Amino acid sequence: MANLDGSINTVAVAAVAFVGSHFILSHPLRKPLVGAIGERAFQGIYSLVSFATLGWMFVAYRRAPLTESLWAVGSGLWALVTVVMLVASILLMGSLIRNPALPTGGRPSAFPQAALGVYAVTRHPMMWAFALWGLCHIAVYPVAKNIVVAVAIIVLALVGAALQDHKKERLQPEEWPAWEAKTSYLPFAAIASGRARFGGFGMHALAGGLVVWLVATWAHAPIAGMAAGIWRWL
């Protein structure tokens, strides 16, 4: 039992290091480090730490034992998760175009005039895509090591999005609050309040999301050893 706990604990420690290093480097340490070594060197350190902690978490996950599922997973739950993952894929692909939250290398962000498509749903579509991925993987694979990793991704995405709002408010005191007024952190909150309208999804979001969803779920079987998405029924 001690060996089992130790293995799962290693996954947890690696997950905390992965998430914590992101938060620490992105917020309290970013300004002093950039001032000391420059933006390019900082980005190199940030990337190195990110890949190192991600690799540690991956290795710990692979080595950790497989525990019993916390609940039974039937076809109904798989069907729900399949639909939610399609939504997540659309959010992810839609977030790659005209997203003012993406890094710009110090240049001013380009803000859309109106919140359309995925930005009408949430101003953090990429982060919510990752969070939905985590929730879906917990739902259909409720074993200890998977829950630890998925929770880490969810926390990194959703807490990171909230921290990004505070940071952007400080760095872009006019543009970001105006963007916040048109959008919402929580999905569909801006639409429900009348600040945004549902629609205006580009083909990069809809077609791109569909392709990513089909390819990723198809690849799930050879990579993870478990059929996912529509491929479970084909």
Residue ranges covered by each domain of the chain: 1-65, 71-232
Q: What is the pTM of this model?
A: 0.92
**Does position 232 have pLDDT exceeding 50, yes or no?**
yes
**Does position 110 have pLDDT exceeding 50, yes or no?**
yes
Cα 134 to Cα 15, 97, 98, 122, 160: the distances in Å are 13, 23, 25, 18, 15
Decide if 133 contacts 146 (C-beta within 8 A). Answer: no
pLDDT band at 139 (very low <50, low <70, confident <90, very high): very high
Decide if 158 contacts 131 (C-beta within 8 A). Answer: yes
pLDDT band at 2 (very low <50, low <70, confident <90, very high): very low
What's the whole-number average pLDDT of the chain?
Answer: 93
pLDDT in tens, 42-97: 899 999 999 999 999 999 999 999 999 999 999 999 999 999 999 999 999 999 99
Q: Is residue 216 classed exposed, middle or buried when 0-12, 13-18 and 19+ CB atoms within 10 A define those classes?
A: middle
DSSP, collapsed to helix, strand or coil, labels residue 181 as helix
Give the pLDDT score at 27: 85
CA quadruple 162, 163, 168, 169: dihedral, nearest 10: 80
CA–CA separation, 47 and 111 (whole Å)? 26
Q: Tell me which of 185 and 113 has the higher pLDDT.
A: 185
pLDDT in tens, 180-230: 999 999 999 999 999 999 999 999 999 999 999 999 999 999 999 999 999
CA–CA separation, 85 and 78 (whole Å)? 10
Give the pLDDT score at 28: 86
**Does position 169 have pLDDT exceeding 90, yes or no?**
yes
Render the burial of 46-57: b for 16+ CB within 10 Å, e for the rest.
beebeeebbebb
**Does position 131 have pLDDT exceeding 70, yes or no?**
yes
Candidate from 12-21, 34-43, 48-57 with smallest mean pLDDT? 34-43
Decide if 119 contacts 125 (C-beta within 8 A). Answer: yes
**Does position 1 have pLDDT exceeding 60, yes or no?**
no
Decide if 11 contacts 148 (C-beta within 8 A). Answer: yes
pLDDT in tens, 118-130: 999 999 999 999 9
